[in-house]
């Protein structure tokens, strides 16, 4: 058995690496599966290893990986931090799709996938087009008057938050709360984080959705929460907490992923002006831009798994109960799969990317994220808005999500 381990392994959970992790990913791919002593987990960064893990849910379990990692991060002396960090894990005592394996996962995925009908998706696309037009009307007016805008705060945040709120049937007026709760959940992995504050935000979010779900049980509407609350996957309706967890998952994934994809992709296009010029002159290539954006700068960096039994992966044996970090973003820059992987190329065949997962846990909202991002690119191209950076963007990231909290732009 070979155990690749070194104290010099890049710390993917540090602020320095998290905001710009790609050189660290390259270093880790050269090592293969490697044990990170500092964070007490194994790192999978090669495309083949990531695909293997995602297609072996019996061995690489989705249950427990996140909570085991967070429990270790809180530290033995941080009782309040540990308690608050694990508060959300208490909720996980119920079935939740992102932290379950087949057969439970299969049943739960069926519940939430059924409402994703062609009719609803077409309706959501129309909603996205209307939102993009409204947001860009306001942005264009400001830009043409000589002002700058913040692409993240003025476009990339409000569009997906407002859209997912409409899909779930919750008031978009609470967008500030939705963002705060979402950022608390994904920000729990940041290098410096107030775990007590995170726990309080998560509790507030669960209480909000508990009230919403209770109301939908009494008076259902034509929204996704009502559809999930009414579903009977195994002959009985899901429990209250199961519907709450679904709602939380859909809210957070439905806005964080797209917000960061929009910002990352637009920033990448500005860094590659010839490709951006192509999209502006040929809006039909927005589809290719979205796909290459997912590969090149996808927002989801990776997720956690826990090994159910000792398992050989290549020349390494992963011990039973080991926590494994499966890096989607590192796999998407693997030169053995993608030629010139560190370059953004519109006409690349990007189909092998794993930006939205693979296998049984492939992102349920993948189609929604793609259409929202495409709609914004098409609307920008239609208006011929030649946006350029207006000051330095503010990068932010951790081992789960990477993006920009601010991207100031102006007309060229």
List, for residues 104-133, the tens digit of each pLDDT value. 888 888 888 888 888 999 999 999 999 999
Predicted confidence (pLDDT) at residue 194 exceeds the cutoff of 80: no
Tokens linked to 348:
């690349």
Average pLDDT score over residue span 157-170 = 95
CA 134 → CA 127, 159, 162, 173, 267, distances in Å? Answer: 11, 10, 12, 16, 22
Nearest CA among 34, 47, 59, 52 for reference residue 316: 34
Q: Which domain holds residue 400?
A: 15-411
Nearest to 267 by CA among 394, 140, 132: 394
Tell me, yes or no, whether 47 lies in a domain: yes
Please indicate, yes or no, if residue 393 is contained in any of the structural domains. yes
Average pLDDT on 367-394 reads 92
What's the pLDDT at 1? 38
Q: Are strands 60-61 and 311-313 parallel, antiparallel or unpaired?
A: unpaired
pLDDT at residue 286 is higher than 60: yes
Q: Is residue 309 part of a domain?
A: yes
**pLDDT bracket for residue 95 (50, 70, 90):** low
Residue 37 falls inside a structural domain: yes
Asked whether residue 375 is domain-assigned, the answer is yes
The overall average pLDDT reported for the chain is 88
Q: Is residue 356 part of a domain?
A: yes
Cα dihedral sign, 56-112-264-299: negative
pTM of the model: 0.91
Residue 340 has pLDDT above 70, yes or no: yes
Q: How much helix, strand and coil, in percent to the nearest 5, is found in the chain?
A: 55, 10, 35
The domain tally of the chain equals: 1
Residue 1 lies in a domain: no
Give residue 364's pLDDT band: very low, low, confident or very high (50, 70, 90). Answer: confident
Return the half-sphere exposure (C-beta side, CA atoms, 13 A cut-off) of residue 268: 25
Q: Tell me, what's the pLDDT at 192?
A: 60
Over residues 309-326, mean pLDDT: 96
Q: Which CATH number do you get for residue 81?
A: 1.10.630.10
Split at pLDDT 50, 70, 90, the class of 201 is confident
Written as six digits, the tokens of 23 are: 């050189």
363 contacts 356 by C-beta, under 8 angstroms: yes
Question: What pLDDT shows up at residue 3?
Answer: 44
Give a yes or no: residue 244 inside a domain.
yes
pLDDT at 79 over 80: no
Per-residue pLDDT at 81 exceeds 90 = no
């Amino acid at each position: 058995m070979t155990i690749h381990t070194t104290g010099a392994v890049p710390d993917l959970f540090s602020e320095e690496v998290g905001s710009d992790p790609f050189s660290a990913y390259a270093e880790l791919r050269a090592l293969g599966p490697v044990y990170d002593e500092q964070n007490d987990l194994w790192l999978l960064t090669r495309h083949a290893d990531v695909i293997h893990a995602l297609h072996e849910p019996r061995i690489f379990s989705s249950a427990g990986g996140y909570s085991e990692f967070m429990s270790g991060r809180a530290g033995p002396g941080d009782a309040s931090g540990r308690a608050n960090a694990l508060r959300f894990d208490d909720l996980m005592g119920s079935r939740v799709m992102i932290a379950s394996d087949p057969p439970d996962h299969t049943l739960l995925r069926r519940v939430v996938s059924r409402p994703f009908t062609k009719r609803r998706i077409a309706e959501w696309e129309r909603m996205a087009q209307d939102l993009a037009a409204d947001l860009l009307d306001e942005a264009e007016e400001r830009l043409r008057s000589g002002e700058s805008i913040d692409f993240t705060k003025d476009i990339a945040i409000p569009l997906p938050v407002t859209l997912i709120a409409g899909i779930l049937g919750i008031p978009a007026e609470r967008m500030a709360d939705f963002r705060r709760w979402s950022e608390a959940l994904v920000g729990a992995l940041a290098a410096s984080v107030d775990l007590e504050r995170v726990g309080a935000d998560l509790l507030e979010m669960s209480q909000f959705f508990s009230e919403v779900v209770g109301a939908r049980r009494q008076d259902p509407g034509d929204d996704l929460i009502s559809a999930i609350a009414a579903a009977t996957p195994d002959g009985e309706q899901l429990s209250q907490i199961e519907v709450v967890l679904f709602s939380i998952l859909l809210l957070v994934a439905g806005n964080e992923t797209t917000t960061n994809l929009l910002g990352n992709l637009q920033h990448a296009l500005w860094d590659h002006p010839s490709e951006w010029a192509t999209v502006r002159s040929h809006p039909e290539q927005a589809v290719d831009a979205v796909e290459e954006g997912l590969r090149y700068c996808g927002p989801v960096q990776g997720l956690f798994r826990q090994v159910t039994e000792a398992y050989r992966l290549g020349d390494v044996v992963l011990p039973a109960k080991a926590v494994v970090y499966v890096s989607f973003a590192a796999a998407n820059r693997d030169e053995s799969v993608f030629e010139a992987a560190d370059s953004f190329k519109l006409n690349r065949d990007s189909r092998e990317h794993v930006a939205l997962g693979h296998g049984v846990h492939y992102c349920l909202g993948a189609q929604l994220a793609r259409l929202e991002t495409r709609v914004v690119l098409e609307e920008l191209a239609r208006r011929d808005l030649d946006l350029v950076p207006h000051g330095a963007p503010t990068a932010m990231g951790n081992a789960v999500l990477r993006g920009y909290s601010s991207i100031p732009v102006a007309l060229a």
